[in-house]
Amino acid sequence: MNQKILIFIITYKASYRVIDVIEKIPFGYIKKLNYEVYISDDNSNDDTLTYIENIKKKYPEIVFKFNQKNIGYGGNIKRCLRYAFDNKFDYAIMLHGDDQYNAKYIKDMIESFKLNKDIAAVSGSRMKNKLEAIKGNMPIYKFLGNIFLTKLFNFFYGTNFSDCHTGYWAYDLKKIDKEFFDRADNEFCFDIDLRLLMVNSKLKIDEIMIKTKYGSERSSIHFIYALRYLIKVIKFKLLKKL
């Protein structure tokens, strides 16, 4: 596989966790590939930049971009993907700077593309093995909510996904039009929008099993996310509009 692969890390107030993300990248595996690691920080005002500067000392080949203003979760992803398109990358793999998704699964994502030439994207599913999700301390409300909302998506769109709420993605940029990414949300519904657009265009999404971890933090954003998810899934089914 000699195509160009971009591994991009979106960060916002990631602090020390971004180092953990880098250290879990399987460099031993990807060193034989034509790859680049790109970090895009969305205007963090904590100590994240200090940690990234230390990473640059150890890994000088890593490319780093600091957004001069906060452009949102989806906006930051779009900036990374524009970089990928502008620099003629064939594949792009997204990591989160908070280390919720283990970078070791990059290998499995690349292998999925090798094994199945028809897929346009690979997503990491925490729910292919539901027991592992519980072991990873997924909060029960997120566990049950994920099952219900994913089943709802499958019912409306005739799909068979196990996890429609993951933020761990790899994209084949030769199969996904740049316009898809531009149409998606600039905030936290980016992944929902992209899945809807891909399914509507009959682009294949493969799922790999991943383990994940959860801290003790809780946020009201989960309720807002669930509500917006419901609205988007139903609205797109009826109107084909995001």
Q: Are 91 and 172 in contact (CB under 8 A)?
A: yes
The CATH number of the domain holding residue 99 is 3.90.550.10
Digit-coded pLDDT (tens) for 100-150: 899 999 999 999 999 999 999 999 999 999 988 888 888 888 899 999 999
Mean pLDDT taken over the chain: 94
- Whether 14 has a pLDDT exceeding 90, the answer reads yes
Residue 220 has pLDDT above 60, yes or no: no
pLDDT tens, position by position, 80-95: 999 999 999 999 999 9
pTM over 0.85: yes
Instruction: Say if residues 80 and 169 touch (Cβ distance below 8 Å).
Output: no
Task: Please give the single-letter amino acid code of residue 241.
Answer: K
In terms of residue numbers, what domain contains 168? 4-239
Q: How far is CA 68 from CA 11, 36, 45, 145, 189, in A?
A: 13, 23, 11, 36, 22
Tokens 């990358």 label which residue? 89
Whether 126 and 163 have beta carbons less than 8 Å apart is answered as yes
Pairing of strands 4-11, 34-41: parallel
Quote the number of domains for the chain: 1
